Chain A
Amino acid sequence: MELQLLLVVSAALFGIGVYGALSQQTFVMIMMGIELMLNGAMLAGVALWGVSGAGAPKGQLLIVIILTVMAVEAALGFALVIGIFRTRQADMTEMLDELQG
């Protein structure tokens, strides 16, 4: 029962993340949505590791990889925000409606 409720919580985090990533116009807010999706994935991983996976060390390794993905996402996301701001002075998706720059 504990595992199922934790999985529902992680599904809720993921769903809110999907909503945020699709609905927000500001680049940094879209990044927040993506981070929330990863947050939900990580919670599901830890819940399965802790309640159902008998604490196998490779389960924790998977969480380390999710943490790495989060760091990569944040670093490249911030870099892209800076890069787009330098070339287009844009901070919202609607400002980027053509490819040619």
Chain B
Amino acid sequence: MTDAALVADVAIWLFGGGSVVAAWLVFRTDSMVRAAYWLLASFVAVGMVMVLLQARFLGLVLVLMMAGEMTIMAAFMVMFMMNPAGLNPMSMVHQHTTAKVAGVVAFAGLAFVGLVAEFPDRPVDPASEPTAELGEELLGDSMLIFETAGVTLLATMIGAIAIAGKRGRFGNAQEGSAPPPVDPDAPAGPDAHPSPMHGGHGGHGGMHH
């Protein structure tokens, strides 16, 4: 094994292990903004593994895409969530035992298959150019698939705007909406915050327009 290959192998393990640790920290940190950035760290680590495995273009696309998405996610945490900074530590989980068991079973089952199944040993030819091959595939034989992905994204954009728009399908989306009660036992409703500072709609989370 040459020195360069050894360095690449060590880097793959460091990034692979790092991606798992960062993924675990996503659900272990109190701050949701930090959780978004731990998730970004996990994606960056996987992107680096992809680059080291010769999928250079896709690895870098993943890093770019996730950097944008996690920034949006962090902004969403601040806009919508009750406790985005984790300054007031509280448990935000439900059905914890079921979730743990499901996660462990999913991991154990997939890891078992990965360890037991026999795959052919056919690494990427170092002399090949995967990025050029991907480009020719996307705009050649598989152009229809590529175009379908593009149309899917367009439909997603239209659907997302239709769902999120202030004017919903059935009129004003905020019509009849109820702010959450400050006291968990109190009924929710437009009058849940009687003070003039918080009266009416959108008293929580900066949704004024």
Contacts and interface: CB of A to CB of B under 8 A. Distances in A.
B50 A46 contact: yes
Contacts of A46: 49-50, 53, 55, 58-59
Contact of A52 (B35, B58, B122): B122
Majority secondary structure of chain A interface residues (helix, strand, loop or mixed): helix
A18 B23 CA distance: 11
A99 interface: no
B173 A28 contact: no
Most chain B beta-carbon neighbours within 10 Å: one of A6, A29, A33, A54? A29
Contact of A58 (B46, B142, B174): B142
Contact of A76 (B65, B95, B134, B160): B160
Nearest to B111: A11
A49 B113 CA distance: 17
Contact of B46 (A23, A39, A75): A39
Contacts of A36: 23, 26, 39, 42
Contacts of B113: 7
Given A16-B103, A23-B100, A63 B32 contact: no
Contacts of A74: 69, 72-73
B36 A86 contact: no
Interface in B65-114: 65, 69, 72-73, 76-77, 80-82, 92-96, 98-100, 102-104, 106-111, 113-114
A61 B142 contact: yes
Nearest to B43: A39
Interface residues of B, number: 98
B39 to A, nearest CB: 5
Contacts of B49: 6, 43, 46-47
Query: How big is the A interface, by class?
Result: 35 or more
A74 B159 CA distance: 12
A28 B160 contact: no
Most chain B beta-carbon neighbours within 10 Å: one of A32, A39, A89? A89
B138 A61 contact: yes
A68 B153 contact: yes
Given A36-B39, A61-B142, A74-B69, A28 B77 contact: yes
B122 A23 contact: no
Contacts of B174: 86-87
Contacts of B176: 87
Q: What are the nearest 10 A-B pairs in CB distance? A: A15-B107, A7-B114, A19-B103, A23-B99, A55-B124, A11-B110, A50-B53, A79-B160, A22-B99, A57-B137
10 contacts: A5-B16, A19-B100, A19-B103, A39-B19, A47-B53, A49-B55, A54-B125, A61-B146, A64-B134, A76-B160
Interface of A: 2-20, 22-26, 28-29, 31-33, 35-36, 39-40, 42-44, 46-55, 57-58, 60-61, 63-65, 67-68, 70-72, 74-76, 78-83, 85-95
